[in-house]
Structure 1
Amino acid sequence: SFGFSVLKAGPMGLDESSSSTGQYGIQSPMVAGLGATRKHIGVSHPLEASELNYHKNNERMEMLMLRNTQGLHAPMRLAMEIKAAEKIGRLPFLPSSNLMRDVILGRDDDIGFEDILNTAEFREQMGQPHAVVEKSLGIL
């Protein structure tokens, strides 16, 4: 197959951070803020890191299998279709549901946590539509 070596997929994102700056091995939230403390706490369960990166690892494994079976053109074509689907969006004040991306990846049949508990009416991002559009166009 054109002299390319066979690639094997492995899980990503299982790095452990060992920053012990405070009394309990984490940064003080009063000094560094809550966001800095959260990323140094780590995972609370061994499956949490795997669950957080499940879709990314699954997509990476599918791309590698496509490359090994059909050649380099198949994952490149799929990546171009995904990128084109992500560029098409709604108005700036309306969040996108990424339906086209889910159809391309075959996730449109799956019912997950985000489908039930992440509905549009309960989202925290709210803004005045006219102000958001003016800001995106550079008028404001």
Structure 2
Amino acid sequence: MEPSHRIVPAAASKSASIRDTTNSLGLHDSLQYGPRSLAAENKARGGLRERLENWDATQDNLKLTMQRNAFGLHMPMRTLMERKIVSRNPHMPALPQTNPHLDVLMGRDETLDCADFMMPAAELRQPLDIHAEMEKKLHM
């Protein structure tokens, strides 16, 4: 946990250069390295995809930092410990895993996700052999 009050994820460092593909005149050598691709340069820069992937972590970091500033260091530590304890779920590995306790602690208890109401067909076809799953867990 890095203490910061950032609301949105930090932008990735932008580094698009043609230093590796330049010739003696300082221009892109398209005969040796092929044509220059703007799509590849955009992909190297990152952008929206990385910001969306880091959105939840940044929001969580902001909440923990605000707890730290308001209540002291013990509050985010307690929150992280509660999340770790609740996320460990040793019961019934064959059944579909949902963790409403962790959803409450993470603040996701009032949101709906596709996984909440749409179960994949592959999970419906699997037979629930709880005894075999428990034996497999004992041998691990």
Same fold by TM (over 0.5)?
A: yes
2:64 is paired with a residue of what secondary structure? helix
| 1-structure distance, mates of 2:71, 2:89 | 28
**Contact between 1:82 and 1:101, CA under 8 Å: does it hold in 2?**
yes
Residue ranges of structure 1 left out of the alignment (5+ in a row) = 1-5, 25-41
- C-alpha RMSD of the superposition: 3.9
Question: Structure 1: which amino acid aligns with 2:62?
Answer: M
CA distance in 2, matches of 1:68, 1:57: 16
1:88 matched to 2:84? The reply is: no
Relative to structure 1, the CA distance from residue 79 to residue 114 in structure 2 (aligned partners, 3 Å threshold; closer, same or farther) is: same
Contact map agreement 2:12 2:46 (CA 8 A) in 1: no
Indicate which of 3, 8, 29 corresponds to 2:4: 8
Q: Percent identity?
A: 27
| Structure 2 alignment gaps of length 5 or more | 17-32, 35-42
Deviation, 1:75, is 0.3
Q: TM-score, normalised by structure 2?
A: 0.60
The aligned amino acid for 1:131 is A
Larger radius of gyration: 2
Number of equivalenced pairs: 113
SS of 1:85 mapped into structure 2: helix
> TM-score by structure 1 length?
0.60
| Structural mapping, 1:30-109, within 5 Å | 46-109=47-110
